[in-house]
Structure 1
Amino acid sequence: MTTSSGPEDRWLDPSLSAVMSERRQLINLAYRLLGSLSDAEDVVQETYVRWYAMSAQQRDAIESPAAWLTKVASRICLDLLGSARARRERYVGEWIPEPLPDRTEWISGRSGDPTEDPADRITLDESVSMAFLVVLESMTPAERVAFMLHDVFRYPFAEVAEIVGRTPAACRQLASSARRRIRAAQAPATPTAQRAAIVRDFKQAWEARDIEALIGLLDTDATAIGDGGGLVSAELRPIEGGEQVARYFAELAGWRPDITLLERTVNGQPGLVVLQGGATVTVMAFDVVGGRIKHIWAVRNPEKLRPWTTD
């Protein structure tokens, strides 16, 4: 006599530990592909739903559960990337990837919540910096998936081909095209300590409404992009030019004298968090090139600030 298995029986599955240990890898992959932590979490949940929708016999027949989970998660992401382009066309204003906090603040060294599941943490490296994610946004979905799987997560092109639905040779070309985009957008890396000092100087000049100091910290071709998603106020178009950006932030400080600026890590790099009435209202990421700020990304869409409001 057999009985049907329910959700509670999953915890008796001896392979559960091995399967669930892939969660962090899947979240890391999905976040980099989608630029959204909330969407990445949904993808991983859907991946596990599909895993447990199979019978025990079907699961046992899978030679590499890790490879199966990665393949399914990547295909879900590929589908989402295709539909995301249509959604972005309807998005109000500029769209910026969802900013990610660090679990240790670079300004104070204070640790994050020790009870948090490490499997839910994103590994912070250059492939998750805001500048890198913005370049990924310029790629086609197939380019993005092929490049991330091969160059960042080290999957062979034969396996990438199964996921993307192209030949290995075609996937090699996709990754090569993505690589060229990355190289064209990359500048020589600025040491983290120098970036932190420049961001700190920007914070102080902004608080002082010192336009000349701000201009001196900004590249002459600097751009500032805001993302309010139509839910809160934000500039609908990028602000271009160092002087224009400096004047905008100086005026902003005058309009909102009650804001508090905090130095925080944003996507693995020194950034700023803006508080108003004790609540996080903006998270800012910076791209520093040649000792000056080249790009500022200011995320104000409250739906993208969820990870910053749970402390």
Structure 2
Amino acid sequence: MQTHDWLTQQFEDHRTHLRAVAYRMLGSHSEADDVVQDAWLRLARADTSTVENLGGWLTTVVARASLDLLRSRKSRREESMESHPVDAIADPSPASGPEHDVLMADAVGPALLVLLEALAPAERVAFVLHDVFDLPFDEIAPIVGRTPTATRQLASRARRRVQGAPAAASADLPRRRSVVDAFLTASRSGDFTALITLLDPNVVLRADHAAVLSSAANLARGALPLAPEIRGAEAVAETFKGRAKAAQTALVDGTVGAVWAPGGQTRVVFAFTIRDERIVGIEIVADPEQISEIDVEILGD
């Protein structure tokens, strides 16, 4: 009985946060309540003796249940936002603190919820957990069934859509394209100095598991091995020097990037983050499932 009372109190301490997580994902108060109640039933039945972070465990349970519900909703083609009007979560008290801040964020977020409805279920979960609730990608990855790198890409794609990046990228297309074109040219010619000039000193290159494996298979041809994460302009420039022979500039989810698409079939996607005329981030995606979810438009001359 004492253990049950302790679990009850712990759950109640996390209830507000869990409801906010579920509501952000589902856009429905009733569904959020159902998911949170289900989390309590799972907690009551589970052996939590080895759980070190109960709040994290509960958040994972709620997130997975919400993802399942989103996928079910999508498969039934439900008009979710019309069926579940977006309204603000009422502020139950004048309290302050992190949980109260979450509630107030929900209270001013109906427009965001409408935008989130346009995202695929896994994109929505990755975006909400990382950008709204600051969970690291290593913890989100098992929830959405992807690698941390692929999960980062999901959140990044969702972020661009939510922020209206396609329109922004279109307005700024010539400048961004000039940076990517110059990078690809320097990469093909092996111009290390030019690559350094185009890269931010703290640039980060991230590659998914499929890209890393493909790189390892090409070691016999003299190619440098590709690590999941490479940091710093010199290391990234060395990685790309003499490469990108067949890469083409493309729109990747509405912003300028590049692809390797032999025979017109996209095999590798390079997503660039550009700031102040320099490349600050590069994502390499070679996983076919992830590529199938990316909007690619190869740009002509």
> Which gives a bigger RCO, structure 1 or 2 (Cα 8 Å, sep 6+)?
1
Instruction: State the TM-score, normalizing by the size of structure 2.
Output: 0.48
More helix as a share of residues: 2
Instruction: State the TM-score, normalizing by the size of structure 1.
Output: 0.47
